[in-house]
A and B are shown apart, each in its own frame.
Chain A
Amino acid sequence: MPPRIQNQLASNSLLPFLSSTSTPSTSSSASLSKLPISQYSPSSSCSSRRSSRPFSSTASTQTKLRNEMFTWLKKEGEALKNHTPGSTNYLSALRFRGEEGQRPPSWPFPLNPSFVSEPVLSEELRNDIYERVVVKKKSVRAVSVELGVDMRRVGAVVRLVELEKRMKQQGKSMALPYARAIHEMIPTTPLHDDARGHRFKPHEAINDLPVHRLTETQIFYPVSESRQFNRVDAGRVFSAAPAQEHTQVARNASDPAAAVSRVTQQPSTIETVGKGADETQVLQAADMRIPHPHLVAHQRHRLEKPNEAREAQDLYKKRLKVEETAEKERKRISKERAEQKLLKVQPEASRFEFRFKDVEVSRETVGKDGRGSKAPGHRYGVPSYDRKKGQVKIPTRVEV
Chain B
Amino acid sequence: MRNRATTPLSKPKLRQSWSKYNLFNLQRLRNPPTIAKTFFQQKWTAKSMARAYHGEQVRESQWARMFSRRIRSVVPMNPVKLAEDDGSAMSAGRGSGLENVTYAEQGRANSRLTPFTQMTFAPLERRLDVAIFRAMFASSARQARQFVVHGAVTVNGKKMRYPGYLLNPGDLFQVEPERVMFATGAPKDKFERREGRVARRKASETTAEAEAAEEGAVAAEETKESEVEGKEAEQEAENPREALKTLLAQAKSIMAGNKDAMSAKRKQELRGFQKAVKRVLSRSESSTVLTDSLESQFSELTLLLKAKRTEKKNDKGSKKEQKQSAAQTSESSSATASESQPGEKLTEAFRQAAENPEEEVDTSELTDDEFDVLKRALVQMRDNPIDSSKPYATPWRPRDYMSAFALIPRYLEVNQNICAAVYLRHPVARPGFSEVPTPFGESVGTSAFAWYLKRR
Contact = CB atoms under 8 A, between A and B. Distances in A.
Interface of A: 10, 12-20, 22, 24, 26, 29-30, 61-62, 65-66, 68-69, 72-73, 76-77, 80-83, 85-86, 88-91, 94, 108-112, 114-118, 120-121, 123-124, 126, 150, 152-153, 156-157, 159-161, 163-164, 167, 172-186, 193, 204-205, 207-211, 213, 223, 225, 228-232, 234, 253, 256, 285-287, 290, 292, 295-300, 302-303, 394-400
B230 to A, nearest CB: 15
Nearest to A222: B95
Place the interface of chain B in its size category.
Answer: 35 or more
Contact of A114 (B80, B87, B93, B433): B433
A4 to B, nearest CB: 14
B20 A73 contact: yes
Given A17-B29, A81-B401, A181-B398, A72 B79 contact: no
A395 to B, nearest CB: 7
A150 B424 contact: yes
A296 B80 CA distance: 7
Nearest to A12: B11
Contacts of B12: 12, 14-15, 18
Nearest to A90: B404
B403 A83 contact: yes
A245 to B, nearest CB: 17
Given A82-B303, A91-B26, A116-B433, A175 B181 contact: yes
Given A164-B418, A209-B75, 12 more contacts: A10-B11, A14-B29, A20-B28, A83-B402, A91-B26, A156-B172, A160-B413, A173-B178, A179-B417, A210-B74, A398-B156, A399-B156
Contacts of A256: 86
Interface stretch (B163-171, B234-242, B254-262): B163-171
A93 to B, nearest CB: 9
B329 to A, nearest CB: 9
Interface string B45-84: 1001100100000000000000000101111111110111
A62 B10 CA distance: 6
Interface string B326-338: 0010001000001
Given A182-B136, A185-B406, A398-B155, A163 B11 contact: no
A207 B299 contact: no
A177 B418 contact: no
B383 interface: yes
Contact of B91 (A91, A182, A234): A234
B393 to A, nearest CB: 11
A118 B88 contact: no
6 contacts: A17-B29, A20-B28, A181-B299, A225-B94, A234-B87, A286-B82
Interface in B389-437: 395-398, 400-410, 413-422, 424-425, 428, 430, 432-437
B186 to A, nearest CB: 10
Contacts, number: 326
A176 B27 contact: no
Nearest to A180: B299
A14 B52 contact: yes
B419 to A, nearest CB: 5
A179 to B, nearest CB: 3
Nearest 3 A-B pairs (CB), nearest first? A179-B416, A83-B403, A156-B422
Given A77-B27, A114-B434, A208-B74, A14 B439 contact: no
Contact of A13 (B49, B164, B174, B434): B49
B452 interface: no
A172 B404 CA distance: 31
Given A77-B24, A231-B86, A396 B166 contact: yes
B166 to A, nearest CB: 7
Contacts of B21: 69
A207 B76 contact: yes
A400 B156 contact: yes
B166 A17 contact: no
B87 A230 contact: yes
A14 B433 CA distance: 25
Contacts of A16: 32-33
A286 B76 CA distance: 11
A94 B404 CA distance: 10
B79 A292 contact: yes
A20 B28 CA distance: 6
Contacts of B165: 394-395
Contacts of A225: 92-94
Given A88-B406, A211-B75, A163 B432 contact: no
Contacts of A211: 72-75
Contact of B14 (A14, A89, A394): A14
Contacts of B27: 22, 72, 76-77, 91, 94, 110
Interface of B: 9-14, 20-21, 23-33, 44-45, 48-49, 52, 70, 72-80, 82-84, 86-88, 91-95, 115, 118, 136, 155-158, 160, 162, 164-166, 168-172, 174, 177-178, 180-181, 184-185, 296-300, 303, 325, 328, 332, 338-339, 380, 383-384, 395-398, 400-410, 413-422, 424-425, 428, 430, 432-442
Nearest to B166: A396
B64 to A, nearest CB: 13
A307 to B, nearest CB: 17
Contact of A164 (B24, B405, B415, B432): B415
A223 B413 contact: no
A207 B77 contact: yes
A109 B30 CA distance: 11
A80 B438 contact: no
A112 B118 contact: yes
Nearest to B406: A185
Contacts of B177: 172-175, 178
B439 A112 contact: yes
Contacts of B170: 152, 156
A170 B386 CA distance: 23
Contact of A111 (B11, B402, B434, B439): B439
Contact of B49 (A14, A72, A94, A152): A14
B39 to A, nearest CB: 16
A354 B115 CA distance: 52
Contacts of B14: 14
Nearest to A287: B82
Contacts of B79: 207, 290, 292, 295-296, 298-299
A205 B23 CA distance: 32
A386 to B, nearest CB: 16
A400 B157 CA distance: 7
Given A18-B12, A89-B403, A299 B82 contact: yes
B10 A61 contact: yes
Contact of B33 (A30, A80, A124, A397): A30
A294 to B, nearest CB: 9
B296 A180 contact: yes
B406 A69 contact: no
Contacts of A174: 177, 417-418
